[in-house]
Each structure stands twice: as structure tokens, then as C-alpha cells.
Amino acid sequence: MPVYALNLFDVSDRDEFLEYSGRSVKEVHAHGGHVVSLGKFRETLKGELSPRSIFILVQWKSMQAFEGYLNDPALAQLHTHRENGTKNYIWQVFDKLETLKPMLDS
């Protein structure tokens, strides 16, 4: 079952993040993911979460595909660039739903 990974973060080191982003799209795709959307922060309309400047939404074929990307030893250096190039990282995974009905049925 597909899952979505929501990434919210600030860039802390441009060069490190460019090292990551230069390779990450290819590696994400190779591990069964694709970037659905990305963007920059505009404004907070409601809520307590402190804003992050960037968001990326990635759809993965499955949780196992996502974990494969995270745990692939060949990508350890790539993940180091992400870690060194960002701060205030929030990474949440959501299950794909066709409707909200399953959430509302009790």
C-alpha cells in the first residue's frame, strides 16, 4: 500500500543541501518513490507548529520501499548531506486513503 512522506525543514547549509538534492530525486525514484509536490513557506493560517521554509511530499510504493531508501548502506553519505544541510526537520509518514471514510467509521 502506498505511503506519503511529508518533509518539512529549513536549509542550514546550502552547499550540503545541494549535494543532497542533486542526487536524491534519482535515488528516491530508484527506491520506489516520486516527488508529488514541493514548495516554500508562505504563511501560517492556524496552528502552533513553528513554520519551516521548505516542504516536500513524496509518494512511496510502500513503507518497505521508503525504509529501503532510508536504510540503503550505499546512500549513507547522501543522507549525511541531508542531515548536514538542513535543520528543524520534521518527517512524517501517512497512509494513502481513497477517502476519509475509514477514519470516520467507528
Does residue 106 lie in a domain region? no
Does residue 9 lie in a domain region? yes
The pLDDT score that the predictor gives to residue 49 is: 86
Give per-10-residue mean pLDDT for the chain (106 aa): 96 97 95 97 91 97 97 97 97 88 76
Number of domain units in the chain: 1
For the range 65-71, what are the long-range contacts, defined as Cβ-Cβ under 8 Å and sequence gap of 24 or more? 65/31, 65/32, 65/33, 66/3, 66/5, 66/31, 66/32, 66/33, 66/93, 68/31, 68/32, 69/27, 69/28, 69/31, 69/32, 69/33
What is the identity of the amino acid at 91? W
Q: Which domain holds residue 12?
A: 3-41+52-94
Does residue 17 lie in a domain region? yes
Output the domain CATH number for residue 14.
3.30.70.100
- C-alpha to C-alpha distance for 6 and 54, rounded to whole angstroms: 11
Look up the pTM and report it: 0.88
The pLDDT score that the predictor gives to residue 98 is: 80
The pLDDT score that the predictor gives to residue 106 is: 66
Does residue 105 lie in a domain region? no
